[in-house]
């Protein structure tokens, strides 16, 4: 019987970081979409950097910040929060790497939003909060959900930054991705193949749901009934 | 009880200056695209903020740059029908209408009022359709119903018929006229279509390059447009620079023509306009030899491009339009214009 800990660990890291990225990504995208052009450009570079940097470079920076001998890492340790060589560090790594995907898709959705329904709602006396949730988020929903799924998938498949920050300890920090590499390195070809298949299955499900979301968006049918 | 507007706003090189009143009537703003019509509406609705000026509706100040008053759109009680109707995506016609009654607490009253509106606007069959499934006319009526249910003190219509097929336009204009009469409050209608402006509006203001000029009764504006921009927007095809040469006489260098006018010519004349249908082959006054260049047939009229014999070579050709049944048997060698049909532009 194969030890399924890597799957469990990967899923919990991806789920927690997915939720964090989903909301911070939307908030950052909303904030950025209202900024003037030049400031937006700068912020964009900063927030998108992890998408183009090699994940190991992200891991390097994370270690410099959260490593046990660094000031912030030490402060966190003092409060009992351990990130390096601990599965919670995997959440941090996944958040950093997956964030740009959520941020960019959500920002694209917000920026392509036709403002006129929002104006119409304002002139009808509807509050700005109501407009955000019922008009804006509704119109952008499919794009935002697709971004969320992509970010979740990226978090699930995170390898580089994760292996730098939390390494590979069987039963403690091992994820699906790091397990494949570890088993392959130690000549356990059957084990590696098993985890590769697990990975493929997850990716297939994720991509199918993205496609489903996109086709719903095209045909204009909504995914969930309203009221 | 009226709308008073006097605003100014700069956007890059564009400079908007608009001042007018609208008192329980349908006031049209006629102007080419990009002239600042929609921007004016957005300033009144509170979506855009003017640089300076004053907007008041029925005595309540909506915006005043000096007194630092700038009410949010929600507090202005101004309804706006946007060009593409701006229905809420993903909501049915009924849900769109219900949104306009958010202030009404009682669920049953809300439902009853929406049902009445659906009936009034003949939308009962479309009540459960979403915006993307609606025809242009249905979408327009839904947007209008949303505003009527909200009962604003001012209604603004931004190019309400431009997205509709031509054969629908006339019918919907008639229906809209009835609905607006029932609305009974001030209405602002923005359009670039002179026929629409003429049919729908009691008074018209002309907007060109951000500037609102000549606000007057619709019929008076078509009879005497006063400015070049107004003449062009009301469909005058022949406009040329002119100088005053006598109390009732002007000279047009481009046409090399001296024209007598019915109205006395004031100082400061810049141009004259002659509508294409004002030229007559049997008119004895202001009569000049012409050369017809081209002819084109329309459903109920003919249009000719022609030049005066003495016309400057680089001046553009003129237009003459006449009903089909008035087509002369021989090509006329001279055309005249009654003095009353020479439009004096200042």
**What domains appear along chain B, each with residue ranges and CATH number?**
3-223 (3.40.50.300), 236-345 (no CATH)
Q: What is the pLDDT of residues B275-298, one digit of tens each?
A: 999 999 999 999 999 999 999 999
CA pair distance A25, A145, nearest whole angstrom: 12
State yes or no: pLDDT of A141 exceeds 90. Answer: no
Contacts of B83 in chain A (CB under 8 A): 116
Q: Determine the residue of chain B that is closest to A142 in CA distance.
A: B90
Contacts of B132 in chain A (CB under 8 A): 220
- A22's tokens: 């989903």
Q: What is the pLDDT of residues B56-79, one digit of tens each?
A: 999 899 999 999 999 999 999 999
Of A125, A220, A227, the CB nearest to B150: A125
Is-contact B246 B259, C-beta < 8 A?
Answer: no
What is the per-residue pLDDT for B285? Answer: 93
Of B79, B83, B103, the CB nearest to A123: B79
Neighbouring C-beta atoms of residue A224, cutoff 10 Å: 6
For chain A, the domains span: 5-219
Maximum pairwise Cα distance, chain B:
76
Fold of A5-219: MetI-like fold (1.10.3720)
Token pair 């949010």 is found at B72
Q: Which of B256, B229, B258 is nearest to B342 (CA)?
A: B258
Query: Does B47 sit within 8 Å of A119, measured CB to CB?
Result: yes
A112 in B contact zone (CB under 8 Å):
no
Q: Determine the residue of chain B that is closest to A137 in CA distance.
A: B89
Q: What is the pLDDT of residues B122-177, one digit of tens each?
A: 899 999 999 999 988 899 999 999 999 999 999 999 999 887 888 888 888 998 89
Chain A to chain B, count of Cβ pairs less than 8 Å apart? 76
B90 in A contact zone (CB under 8 Å):
yes
Q: What is the pLDDT of residues B78-90, one digit of tens each?
A: 999 998 899 998 8
3-state secondary structure of B319: strand
- A99's tokens: 């964030």
What is the per-residue pLDDT for B90? Answer: 86
State yes or no: pLDDT of A43 exceeds 70. Answer: yes
B268 in A contact zone (CB under 8 Å):
no
DSSP annotation string for B202-269: SEEEEEETTEEEEEEEHHHHHH---SHHHHHHTT--EEEE-EEEETTEEEEGGGTEEEE-SSPPPTT-
Q: What is the mean pLDDT of residues A24-45?
A: 90
Query: Does A117 sit within 8 Å of B89, measured CB to CB?
Result: yes
Q: What is the pLDDT of residues B290-326, one digit of tens each?
A: 999 999 999 999 999 999 998 988 899 999 999 998 8
Query: Does B103 sit within 8 Å of A125, measured CB to CB?
Result: yes
State yes or no: pLDDT of A218 exceeds 60. Answer: no
Query: Does A123 sit within 8 Å of B78, measured CB to CB?
Result: yes
Contacts of B99 in chain A (CB under 8 A): 121, 124, 126, 134
Query: Does B72 sit within 8 Å of A119, measured CB to CB?
Result: no
Of A122, A127, A226, the CB nearest to B47: A122
Q: What is the mean pLDDT of residues A206-213?
A: 81
Query: Does A222 sit within 8 Å of B99, measured CB to CB?
Result: no
State yes or no: pLDDT of A223 exceeds 60. Answer: no
Q: What is the pLDDT of residues B99-122, one digit of tens each?
A: 999 988 899 999 999 999 999 888
Q: What is the pLDDT of residues A103-137, one digit of tens each?
A: 999 998 888 888 999 999 999 999 999 999 899 88
């Amino acid at each position: 019987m194969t030890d399924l800990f890597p799957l469990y660990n990967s899923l919990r890291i991806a789920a927690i970081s997915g939720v964090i990225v989903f909301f911070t990504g939307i908030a950052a995208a909303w904030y950025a979409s209202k900024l003037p052009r030049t400031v937006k450009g700068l912020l964009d570079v900063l927030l998108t950097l992890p998408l183009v940097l090699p994940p190991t470079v992200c891991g390097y920076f994370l270690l410099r910040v959260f490593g046990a001998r660094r000031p912030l890492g030490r402060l966190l340790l003092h409060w009992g929060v351990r990130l390096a060589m601990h599965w919670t560090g995997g959440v941090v790594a996944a958040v950093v790497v997956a964030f740009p995907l959520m941020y960019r898709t959500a920002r694209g959705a917000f920026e392509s939003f036709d403002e006129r329904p929002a104006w119409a709602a304002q002139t009808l006396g509807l509050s700005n909060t109501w407009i955000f949730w019922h008009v804006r988020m509704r119109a952008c929903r499919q794009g935002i959900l697709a971004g969320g799924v992509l970010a979740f998938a990226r978090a699930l498949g995170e390898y580089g930054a994760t292996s730098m920050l939390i390494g590979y300890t069987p039963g403690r920090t091992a994820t699906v991705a790091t397990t494949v590499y570890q088993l392959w390195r130690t000549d356990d070809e059957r084990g590696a193949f098993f985890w590769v298949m697990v990975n493929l299955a997850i990716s297939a499900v994720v991509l199918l749901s993205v496609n489903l979301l996109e086709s719903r968006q095209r045909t204009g049918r909504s995914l969930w009934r309203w009221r | 009880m009226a709308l008073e507007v006097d605003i100014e706003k700069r956007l890059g090189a564009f400079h908007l200056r608009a001042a007018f009143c609208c008192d329980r009537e349908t006031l049209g703003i006629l102007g080419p695209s990009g002239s600042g019509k929609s921007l004016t509406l957005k300033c009144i609705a509170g979506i855009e903020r003017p640089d300076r000026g004053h907007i008041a509706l029925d005595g309540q100040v909506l915006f005043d740059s000096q007194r630092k008053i700038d009410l949010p759109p929600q507090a202005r009680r101004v309804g706006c029908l946007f060009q593409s109707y701006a229905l809420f995506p993903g909501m049915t016609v009924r849900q769109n209408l219900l949104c306009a009654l958010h202030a009404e607490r009682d669920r049953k009253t809300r439902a009853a009022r929406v049902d009445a509106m659906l009936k009034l606007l003949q939308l009962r069959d479309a009540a459960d359709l979403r915006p993307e499934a609606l025809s242009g006319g249905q979408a327009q009526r839904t947007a209008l119903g949303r505003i009527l249910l909200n009962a604003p003190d001012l209604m603004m219509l931004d190019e309400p018929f431009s997205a509709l097929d031509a054969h629908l336009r006339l019918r919907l204009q008639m229906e809209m006229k009835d609905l607006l009469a029932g609305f009974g409050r001030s209405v602002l209608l923005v359009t670039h279509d002179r026929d629409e402006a003429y049919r729908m509006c009691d008074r018209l203001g002309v907007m060109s390059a951000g500037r609102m000029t000549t606000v007057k009764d619709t019929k008076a504006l078509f009879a005497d447009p006063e400015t070049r921009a107004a003449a062009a927007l009301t469909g005058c095809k022949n406009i040329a620079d002119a100088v005053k040469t006598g109390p009732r006489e002007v000279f047009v260098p481009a046409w090399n023509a001296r024209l007598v006018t019915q109205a006395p010519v004031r100082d400061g004349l810049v141009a004259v306009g002659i509508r294409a249908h004002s030229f007559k082959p049997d008119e004895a006054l202001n009569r000049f030899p012409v050369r017809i260049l081209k002819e084109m047939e329309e459903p109920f009229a003919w249009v000719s491009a022609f030049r005066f014999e003495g016309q400057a070579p680089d001046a553009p050709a003129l237009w003459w339009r006449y009903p089909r049944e008035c087509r002369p048997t021989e090509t006329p060698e001279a055309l005249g214009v009654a003095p009353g049909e020479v439009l004096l532009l200042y």
